């Protein structure tokens, strides 16, 4: 990824809209019960028109560059993971005038017991979309469901990733290609250069990321 001026402005926007927050004393308490000096809430992106447009435009260009073969047939569908991937997948589908579905974490217990909501045409090229890839579990589960359908190709993408070795190993073991728009280490580097993060905070964040990959 090229860390251009636009990316710097996006990082500024992340802090201004509290998409990205830092707290080291006390740290954030996550749903897992673990503590984190970083809190990333990508959902806030889609409440802010300016930031949303910047992200979706940059992400769309990124996908066209990284996966040009996915757009060859014109039969492209963006599949959002439930629930965090729904908004970004729909926004990308609108940008490309493409199809949209979302993938439940498990089949419905009533009606048609669907796991994929929406219409998934045969022989489509599918982008499975999430907001954040940490371990990759929810994305891989969604890809597994998508692969049960008569599709052509599937790749995965997210706005951000911690780029952990264990998540990369997980994707490789499943033979799933994925690429994220941003690595959080790049975002933290920009934030540090712009004085949004001080030296002590940066040190704690890097230590925390190392612990995540253990």
Write out the binding residues for orotate. 134
Cα–Cα distance, 178 to 81 (Å, whole number): 14
Query: Binding site for 5-phospho-alpha-D-ribose 1-diphosphate, residues?
Result: 104, 108, 110, 130-138
**CA-to-CA separations, 9 to 60, 89, 191, 195, in angstroms, rounded:** 17, 23, 10, 13
Cα–Cα distance, 66 to 85 (Å, whole number): 20
Q: Are strands 99-103 and 76-81 parallel, antiparallel or unpaired?
A: parallel
Phi, psi (deg, nearest 5) at residue 91: -60, -40
Token pair 């017991």 is found at 113
Cα–Cα distance, 199 to 185 (Å, whole number): 14
* Cα 138 to chain centroid, rounded: 11
Q: Running DSSP on this structure, what letter comes out for residue 136?
A: -
Query: Binding site, residues?
Result: 104, 108, 110, 130-138
Question: Which regions of 1-134 does DSSP assign to beta strands (E)?
Answer: 20-22, 28-29, 35-36, 38-40, 76-81, 99-103, 116-117, 125-133
Which string of b and e fits 64-96 if b means at least 16 CB within 10 Å? eeebeebeeeebbbbbbbbebbbbbbbbbbebb
């Amino acid at each position: 990824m090229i860390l251009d001026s636009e990316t710097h402005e996006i990082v500024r926007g992340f802090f201004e809209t509290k998409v990205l927050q830092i707290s080291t004393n006390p740290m954030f308490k996550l749903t897992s019960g673990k503590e984190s000096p970083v809190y990333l809430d990508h959902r806030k992106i889609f409440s802010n028109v300016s930031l949303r447009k910047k992200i979706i435009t940059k992400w769309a260009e990124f996908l066209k560059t990284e996966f040009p073969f996915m757009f060859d047939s014109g039969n492209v569908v963006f599949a959002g993971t439930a629930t965090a991937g729904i908004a970004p997948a729909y926004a990308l589908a609108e940008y490309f005038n493409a199809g949209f579905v979302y993938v439940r974490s498990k089949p419905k217990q009533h009606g048609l017991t669907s796991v994929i909501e929406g219409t998934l045409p045969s022989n489509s090229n599918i982008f499975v979309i999430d907001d954040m890839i940490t371990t990759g579990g929810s994305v891989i589960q969604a890809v597994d469901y998508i692969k049960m359908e008569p599709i052509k190709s599937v790749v995965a993408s997210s706005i951000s990733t911690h780029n952990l070795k264990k998540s990369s190993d997980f994707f490789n073991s499943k033979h799933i290609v994925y690429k994220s728009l941003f690595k959080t280490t790049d975002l933290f580097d920009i934030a540090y250069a712009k004085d949004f993060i001080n030296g002590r905070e940066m040190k704690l964040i890097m230590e925390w990321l190392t612990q995540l990959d253990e």
